[in-house]
Structures are given as structure tokens and as C-alpha cells.
Amino acid sequence: MEKRDKREKEKPEKEFTEKLIKLARVSKTVKGGRRMSFSALVVVGDGKGKVGYGMGKANDVTDAIRKATEAARKAMKEIHVKGQTIPHEIIGKFKSASVLLKPAAPGTGVIAGGAVRAVCDACGIKDVLSKSLGSKNTINTVKATFDGLEGLFSARKTSAGRGKSVKELWG
């Protein structure tokens, strides 16, 4: 019986889109001077409603990106989408960053800034209007976007929870 390599045992994962949002060189002052390292923020999504973000820090750029990608894959969450847009308007908040997300008509496209656009593209949202309010910090903006997307609900799930049909509830 042959010994199999660890990589051969792993199942091939689904095709995910990985977007590097922020790469920064950070330094730590120690007794002998400054220690430089890199921090990365990555968003990973399958384009069908599953998306996650992760942060990684290492002495090398590639290691930082790899760590961030692994963290993002572990933290993937299911987002409720309605066709190619979101079901309703919502405001996501994290610390002083707020992100307003509105559903848009088909063909509108993703009207959003850098961090919000990357999250929407990875999630598979094709038509959405957004406005970043408050802080311009990229990390907090991504977290606020996720807060908004996690707060979305579908009509089916809401009506099932209340024991009514979708027509009874929404008319």
C-alpha cells in the first residue's frame, strides 16, 4: 500500500473567486529597530451567495495573502440574494463605518466603492446601489458590508417562521 501525500487526500474545492482588498506593510518597533511585516485583507466567494473575508499577517507578502485566504474560506457565510440583487435595503454598521445597500433594477451593475464592490462581486451580486458612510477605513468598511449582508432575510424564510404563506404575508 502506497503512502499518499496529504494534498491528494483533500477534496478539490469549488471554484472560488479571491479578491485582495488591502495589502499593507506594517512595522513593529523593537529594541534593535523596526521589524517590517505585511498584512493582507482578502475576500473569497463562490459567486452564488457564499462569501467570507479574512486577514493574514506575515513577514512575506505571499504568506500573508495565503493566511488571509485560508481565514476567509473558514469564515464563509451564506447570503440571501434575490436573483442578481439583494432582497431589500439595509444599513450595515461596524464601529464608525456604515454601508447603505439598496437593491437595484436588472442591468444597473454594482454601484459601489472598492471594498464594497469586491464583497458584492465575490458574493455574486450583480445589481446593487451602495454608499459608504462614516469611516473610510477599508477593514471596517468590509466588516460593515458583511454586517449588512448578514442582516438580509428572504420572504420565504420569514413567512415560514410566522407560519404563513408568502402571499399572505407580502400580498
Taking the domains of the chain in order of start, what are their residue ranges?
9-77, 79-157
Q: What is the pTM of this model?
A: 0.85
The domain 79-157 is placed in CATH, from the list 3.40.50.12710, 3.40.50.300, 3.30.230.10, 3.40.50.620, at 3.30.230.10
Q: Angle at CA 68, nearest 5°, toward 62 and 72?
A: 145
Closest C-alpha among 84, 77, 90, 72 to residue 131:
90
Contact at 8 Å (CB) between 111 and 130?
A: yes
Task: Give pLDDT tens digits along the chain (171 positions).
Answer: 445 555 444 544 568 899 999 999 999 999 999 999 999 999 999 999 999 999 999 999 999 999 999 999 999 999 988 889 999 999 999 999 999 999 999 999 999 988 999 999 999 999 999 999 999 999 999 999 999 999 988 777 777 788 877 777 766
CATH topology of domain 9-77: Double Stranded RNA Binding Domain (3.30.160)
The Cα–Cα gap between 166 and 62 comes to 48
Angle formed by the axes of helices 138-150 and 114-123, to 10°? 40
